[in-house]
Amino acid sequence: MVFSFFKKQDNKMPERPAARPRFAEPPPVDVKVAPPAQADAAKPAPEPLPDLEFVPAKLLESIPMAALNQPAAAREPAKAAPTGDLDFSIDDFDRDFTESSVMGIDVDNDVDPLQACVEQVVVLFANGQDGAARSLLETFVRSYHGSEGKRFWLLLFDLLQVSGDRAAFDKLGVDYAEACETSPPTWRDDSSLKPAAAGGVGPGKIFLQGVLTTEGALPVTELAKLIAQKAQAVVDCSKLIGCDDEVAGQLAELLARARKGRLSVTVLGAEVFTERLNGRLVAGEAVHEEAWRLLLEMLQRHGTQEQFEERAVDYAVTFELSPPSWEARPAGVAPAAVEANRSADDAYFLSGELKGCRFEDLLPVIEASEQPILDFSGVRRLDFVSAGQLVNRLAPFKAAGREIIIRSPNHLVAELMAVVGLNKMARIVVPKS
203-319 and 342-429: identical CATH topology: yes
Q: How far apart are CA 292 and CA 277, in angstroms?
A: 9
Q: What's the one-letter identity of residue 190? A: D
- Per-residue confidence band for 431, with pLDDT thresholds at 50, 70 and 90: confident
Q: In whole angstroms, what is the distance from residue 376 CA to residue 191 CA?
A: 14
Residue 197 has a pLDDT of 35
In which band, very low, low, confident or very high, does the pLDDT at 298 lie, cut at 50, 70 and 90? Answer: very high
Least confident of 8-22, 48-62, 203-217, 358-372: 48-62
Q: Quickly count: other Cβ atoms within 10 Å of residue 204's Cβ.
A: 27
Q: Which fold has domain 342-429?
A: Transcription Regulator spoIIAA (3.30.750)
Q: CATH topology for 203-319? A: Transcription Regulator spoIIAA (3.30.750)
Q: Which range, of 45-49, 213-217, 302-306, 395-399, averages the lowest pLDDT?
A: 45-49
Q: What span, in angstroms and rounded, lies between the C-alpha atoms of 387 and 418? A: 10
Q: Where are the domains of the chain?
A: 38-74, 113-185, 203-319, 342-429
What pTM does this model have?
0.47
Residues with Cβ within 8 Å of residue 392, at least 6 apart in sequence: none
pLDDT band at 81 (very low <50, low <70, confident <90, very high): very low
State how far the alpha carbon of 279 is from the alpha carbons of 29, 242, 334, in Å. Answer: 104, 11, 26
